[in-house]
Amino acid sequence: MKFGVVIFPGSNCDHDAFHAIGSVLGQPVEFIWHQSEQLSGFDAIILPGGFAYGDYLRTGAIARFSPVMRAVDRFARSGGLVIGICNGFQILLEAGLLPGAMMRNKGLRFLCRQVHIRVESTNTPFTCAARPGQVLKIPIAHMEGNYFCDPATLVELERNQQIIFRYVKPDGRSADPDDREANPNGSLAAIAGICNRERNVLGLMPHPERAVELPIGSADGMVIFRSMVESLAREAALPA
Amino acid sequence: MIDTETIVTPQVAAEHGLSPDEYARIQQILHRAPSFTELGVFSVMWSEHCSYKSSRIHLKRLPTRGARVVQGPGENAGVVDIGDGFVAVFKIESHNHPSFVEPFQGAATGVGGILRDIFTMGARPIAVLDPLRFGPITSGPGAGNASAEEIARNRHILDGVIRGIAFYGNCFGVPTVGGDVLFEPSYSNNPLINVLALGIARREELFFARASGAGNPVIYVGAKTGRDGIHGASLLASAEFSEESQQKRPNVQVGDPFMEKLLLEACLEAMRTGAVVGIQDMGAAGLTSSSSEMASRGGVGIEIELARVPQRETGMTPYEIMLSESQERMLLVAERGREREVFDVFHKWGLDAIEIGRVTDDGKLRILNHERVVAEIPAHALAEEGPKYERPIAPPRPPQSQARLVEFAPKGADLTRNFLRLLASPAVASKYWITEQYDSMVRTNTRVGPGAGDAAVMRLKETKRALAISTDGNGRWCSLAPRIGAMHAVAEASRNVACTGALPVAATNCLNFGNPEKPEVMWQFTEALDGMAEACRALEVPITGGNVSFYNETLGRRIDPTPVLGVLGLLEDAECALGSGFRNAEDLIVVLEAGKAAESIAEAQREFSSSEYAKTVHGIVAGAPPQIDLAAEKRLIECLVKLAAERAILSAHDVSDGGLAVTLAESCFTSDGLSADVNLDPLATKEPPEAAVFGERGARVVVSLSPSSLARMNAIAAQYGIKAWQIGAVTRGEFCIQLNGTPVVRGEISLFRQTWAASLERALESA
């Protein structure tokens, strides 16, 4: 199976995702230039963190119109696995592949720190190797990670179990609405990551590719990438 | 060829900051009067900022060579061999005046400038550190007599600076991993915004800023040229500040980190084509300095047609184009016939890349505007033959009356309240509020990040080695005794690096001083320089580059002389990197000491009166910095490197601001809820309790280790002639420091931690 990491000109976590998949996970991985519309041969696409086209307007607002996003849209609609991390999540929201929007962090400051997120559903190709309720220590690094959606969408997300990760206290207990320690950006319902209804597109603000080796702080992010490999392997084993 | 826009007279020259002698010298070089454009070009190249005219003759005294030094001062950055075919490229710069005028953009473009210096050499930036000095942000004895208005303004400056650094570095994608932040009244109207960048490259892929090969095309890449930043180097950076200085906001540049990121990727990719001959960024003095320095270093000439320069605004004059300091631009020389390969790379990244001229063999910088020559100057004269001054030097007059020194508290006094005040002081308090606004993890190499160790440690994915880097510089000490203060800066930055287990191998310096035309300032400068030279020699950390920032004076008040040192260390095995936090309950706590305590109460009193404690608790800044023993510092550094390599210790934290008490507390704060219970009697100190607990003399480090490693640790310490005092153990209970059988500092560690952690945020978020 082959992973593809999209490079927008302002991506800056592209090499980190590449390292996590290629060197740590030991899976085939290639870069995909933002002007490419060619995604055949890839089994999973990673939209990495960074500032796609500078993001001076609104995060992801320009990226959604890039050639590669037309291809990613087709790839996702045909069932391919797509994971958007940080800026990648913001782009998926702008592209309409996931519902909702990002606002600036509650404190109006960029925040880079380790946070704890809880796996809310293991029924996705991104979390199938995790335990239900497992707490992952993974860093965030963003200015706009304050997730928001209208009440109807939130009900929908809850009902379909599309909320995959929530910011929680280190021991896994839910955060109070105003707990800036646990939910530092002030996200609605402490949402850290969601998937689409079809469950093949995931967006999350924390950076699992920065949590793949203990010497750099945590290896908890690996469970997400391992889940993807497992689910792709299962799919490949099914008779066509 | 005369440019008629403005007639050049001695008065116009004077308005450009050129002295009558300098103007005469220009006429001598040209054998005629300069055109207006030529005058502008000379004025920026011969400004203090670009020519180092007041410092050059003194800088020669710094040691610049060493076994690992590949490139010393004179290039865009210093280069050090780190083994396995790799080199580290690093340098520190200042952006003090722009950041005072416009904190956000000033700080942001400071980061941008130093990053270009690194990737100009073919290296990818892997870390940024920001040593910052601000005026007081809280009231109290340590704030001098800062008014409420001044404090509010300092908070505003700090807030803008931090946001600017974060804005640029986070978007560019380089981790900002450290830099010390200190506060003194002298920085109130003249903050110091220094920035250090570190990159790595393969040794054979290094690039230099030299033009060569007559006929080769000179190519302009990156952002378009606008009217921003004109005379940034000459007027902003090379003059004192007055009340009108706020009107110099148009002289501050505006940063675009996205553009810089494109430029980084495109430049590194273009360099890999093999078609690039030489390259230099357009930093201070823009097109003028990049073209004349590249020509001068290569011993060739450069001819440029200004009509071809990409411009953001219409109607720009040759003078404006040559002096613009628009950001995110580079000048490169390519091999004739292969320019297409270079253009293709830049176009792929969506950047302008235009041939604007060619290399010539006549050694002249020739500027044409629509085919008309507007300037023609020997490049070498411009870049290298600027004026050099041996400015008068005079020590300051000794004060009329004896300064008040600290009266020590009696034995047995409880110092816990004072300890709390120290923990809450901005210099000692946690800097987490600042560092969490920086992306400190991008590129996933940050092994020891902000606050987690005495130096930042970056792993190198390509090898098993790691690099450690730390900055230090105590302006308060330098104001009392610049020579010893500068030695301490070298020693502490080196000790910090060694605390992570890395061997210090090289240094970069940012020399922040007042107006060099004042003899006392030159005295401070030369004293500090001599101290630095002596310490760098003793500790074997050659200076590979850096920056001199003079004229740090506003409304006649000058800053404390502040030499800031950035020391780079090399860890042979990244797995051996140490943090400063305690690791396990019941581990032993040991003080390693290479020096010795003050001999008499009077000496202790003098040393202690210069401490952070004396300032914060008593409002006293007097006496002298602690004595320094460089040979002892060297032994301690080597001992620490050995202890880490042998895995004999689990944490190391050097004793500095706030003394042993703060060092011990910080090792608890950065642990997972651990505390410490120690007794200082084993140090057999005759010092008064306050000096023993809060004194700041160097050559001391607090380490922790498993009890089973004690014999091994003692043996290694003895081998280097280091005293190892076992003072207590890591616990999960109360934090307690005992002396002579009585607790002098005692309380719940969580309470202490709360004070330390919340102080900065309370001061700044309430602003």
Give the count of Cβ contacts less than 8 A between chain A and B: 84
Chosen for mutation from A110, A143, A220 (greatest number of chain B CBs closer than 10 Å) is A110
Cα B498 to Cα B454: distance, rounded to the nearest angstrom:
9
Contact by Cβ (8 Å): B513, B562: yes
pLDDT digits (tens, 9 = 90+) for A154-164: 999 999 999 99
**Among the partner residues A16, A109, A215, nearest to B437 by beta-carbon distance:** A109
Query: CATH code at B225?
Result: 3.90.650.10
Check if B443 contacts A (Cβ < 8 Å). Answer: yes
For residue A205, name the pLDDT band (cuts at 50, 70, 90). very high
Q: How do strand B543-549 and strand B503-512 relate by DSSP bridges?
A: parallel
Looking at every residue in chain B, the average pLDDT score rounds to 94
Catalytic residue (one of B16, B49, B231, B653): B49
Handedness of CA B107, B116, B539, B176 (dihedral sign): positive
For residue B252, name the pLDDT band (cuts at 50, 70, 90). confident
Q: Verify whether the Cβ–Cβ distance A16 to B444 is below 8 Å.
A: yes
Coil, strand, or helix at residue B746?
strand
Q: A3-237 in CATH: which number?
A: 3.40.50.880
Domain count along chain B = 1
Q: What is the three-state SS of B228-256? A: CCCCHHHHHCCCCECHHHHHHHHHCCCCC
Predicted pLDDT at B248: 64
Contact by Cβ (8 Å): B185, B545: no
Cα B418 to Cα B570: distance, rounded to the nearest angstrom:
38
Check if A181 contacts B (Cβ < 8 Å). Answer: no
Residues on chain B touching A49 (C-beta within 8 angstroms): 442
Closest-CA distance, A201 to chain B, in angstroms, reads: 24
Contact by Cβ (8 Å): B102, B249: yes
Residue B715 neighbours by CB under 8 Å, 6+ apart: none
Q: Which of B246-260, B297-311, B673-687 has the lowest mean pLDDT?
A: B246-260
Q: Hey, what amino acid is at B151?
A: I
Closest-CA distance, A161 to chain B, in angstroms, reads: 31
Place of tokens 């160097």: B698
Continuous H helices in chain A: 14-19, 67-77, 87-94, 151-159, 222-237
Check if B37 contacts A (Cβ < 8 Å). Answer: no
Torsion angle defined by CA atoms of residues B185, B567, B327 and B267, in that order, rounded to the nearest 10 degrees: -170
Choose among B114, B136, B144, B125: nearest CA to B181. B136
Residues on chain B touching A53 (C-beta within 8 angstroms): 258
pLDDT digits (tens, 9 = 90+) for A61-112: 999 999 999 999 999 999 999 999 999 999 999 999 999 999 999 999 999 9
DSSP B715-763: HHHHHTT-EEEEEEEEESS-EEEEETTEEEEEE-HHHHHHHHHHHHHHH
Contact by Cβ (8 Å): B136, B143: yes
Predicted pLDDT at A213: 97
Cα B664 to Cα B231: distance, rounded to the nearest angstrom:
48
Predicted pLDDT at B400: 72
Q: Which of A7-16, B312-321, B504-513, B717-726 has the lowest mean pLDDT?
A: B312-321
The reply to whether B95 belongs to the active site is yes
Residues on chain A touching B170 (C-beta within 8 angstroms): 110, 112, 141, 143
pLDDT digits (tens, 9 = 90+) for B727-766: 999 999 999 999 988 999 999 999 999 999 999 999 898 7
Residue of chain A whose Cα is closest to the Cα of B578: A215
Coil, strand, or helix at residue B59?
helix
The catalytic residues of A are: 86, 207, 209
Taking residues B251-261, what's their average pLDDT? 89
**Among the partner residues A15, A143, A216, nearest to B447 by beta-carbon distance:** A216
Neighbouring CB atoms inside 10 A of B675's CB total: 25
Residue of chain B whose Cα is closest to the Cα of A24: B461
B19 lies in a domain?
yes
Residue B712 neighbours by CB under 8 Å, 6+ apart: B646, B648
Q: Is the ipTM of this complex over 0.95?
A: yes
Predicted pLDDT at B227: 87
Main-chain phi, psi angles of A182, to 5 degrees: -85, -40
Report the number of secondary-structure helices (H) and strands (E) in chain B.
Answer: 25, 30
Place of tokens 């440690």: B457
User: What letters, b where the CB count within 10 A reaches 16 and e where it falls short, cover B638-648?
Assistant: bbbbbbbeebb
Q: Verify whether the Cβ–Cβ distance A207 to B441 is below 8 Å.
A: yes
Predicted pLDDT at B1: 39
pLDDT digits (tens, 9 = 90+) for A171-181: 999 999 889 99
Check if B440 contacts A (Cβ < 8 Å). Answer: yes
Closest-CA distance, B260 to chain A, in angstroms, reads: 10
Predicted pLDDT at A78: 96
Tokens for B42, please give them. 């000379």
Cα B281 to Cα B287: distance, rounded to the nearest angstrom:
9
The tally of CA atoms less than 13 A away on the side-chain side of residue B522 is 16
Cα B110 to Cα B306: distance, rounded to the nearest angstrom:
27
Coil, strand, or helix at residue B694?
helix
pLDDT digits (tens, 9 = 90+) for B456-482: 999 999 999 999 999 999 999 999 999
Neighbouring CB atoms inside 10 A of B711's CB total: 10
Predicted pLDDT at B233: 63
pLDDT digits (tens, 9 = 90+) for B412-434: 889 999 999 999 999 999 999 99
Q: Verify whether the Cβ–Cβ distance B442 to A113 is below 8 Å.
A: no
Listed by start position, the domains of chain A span 3-237
Q: Verify whether the Cβ–Cβ distance B459 to A13 is below 8 Å.
A: no
Check if B177 contacts A (Cβ < 8 Å). Answer: no
Alpha carbon distances (Å) from A51 to A102, B54, B258: 14, 42, 7
Predicted pLDDT at B7: 86
Task: Name the percent of chain B lying above pLDDT 90.
Answer: 87
Q: Hey, what amino acid is at B286?
A: G
Catalytic residue (one of B16, B95, B231, B618): B95
The most distant pair of C-alpha atoms in chain A lies apart, rounded to whole Å, by 51
**Among the partner residues B170, B256, B445, nearest to A110 by beta-carbon distance:** B170
Contact by Cβ (8 Å): A45, A6: yes
Cα B450 to Cα B182: distance, rounded to the nearest angstrom:
15
Cα B730 to Cα B746: distance, rounded to the nearest angstrom:
15
CA angle A56, A60, A64 (to 5 degrees): 130
Residue of chain B whose Cα is closest to the Cα of A211: B444
Predicted pLDDT at A177: 85
B646 lies in a domain?
no
For residue B237, name the pLDDT band (cuts at 50, 70, 90). low
User: What letters, b where the CB count within 10 A reaches 16 and e where it falls short, cover B536-549?
Assistant: bebbbbbbbbbbbb
**Among the partner residues A23, A112, A215, nearest to B440 by beta-carbon distance:** A112
Closest-CA distance, B468 to chain A, in angstroms, reads: 15
pLDDT digits (tens, 9 = 90+) for B493-536: 999 999 999 999 999 999 999 999 999 999 999 999 999 999 99
**Among the partner residues A10, A141, A210, nearest to B261 by beta-carbon distance:** A10
Contact by Cβ (8 Å): B605, B408: yes
Cα B628 to Cα B534: distance, rounded to the nearest angstrom:
12
Q: Verify whether the Cβ–Cβ distance B436 to A113 is below 8 Å.
A: yes
Cα A182 to Cα A174: distance, rounded to the nearest angstrom:
9
Closest-CA distance, A52 to chain B, in angstroms, reads: 9
For residue A236, name the pLDDT band (cuts at 50, 70, 90). confident
End-to-end CA distance of chain A: 16
**Among the partner residues A9, A111, A207, nearest to B262 by beta-carbon distance:** A9
For residue B243, name the pLDDT band (cuts at 50, 70, 90). low
Contact by Cβ (8 Å): A86, A141: yes
Note down the domain range covering B1.
1-56+208-386
Q: Does residue B598 register a pLDDT over 90?
A: no
Q: Verify whether the Cβ–Cβ distance B173 to A13 is below 8 Å.
A: yes
Closest-CA distance, A239 to chain B, in angstroms, reads: 39
Residues on chain A touching B459 (C-beta within 8 angstroms): 215-216
Residues 96-115 of A with CB under 8 A from B: 109-113
Task: Name the percent of chain A lying above pLDDT 70.
Answer: 100
For residue B3, name the pLDDT band (cuts at 50, 70, 90). very low
Residues on chain B touching A216 (C-beta within 8 angstroms): 441, 444-447, 459
Closest-CA distance, A40 to chain B, in angstroms, reads: 23
Choose among A10, A169, A201: nearest CA to A97. A201
For residue B2, name the pLDDT band (cuts at 50, 70, 90). very low
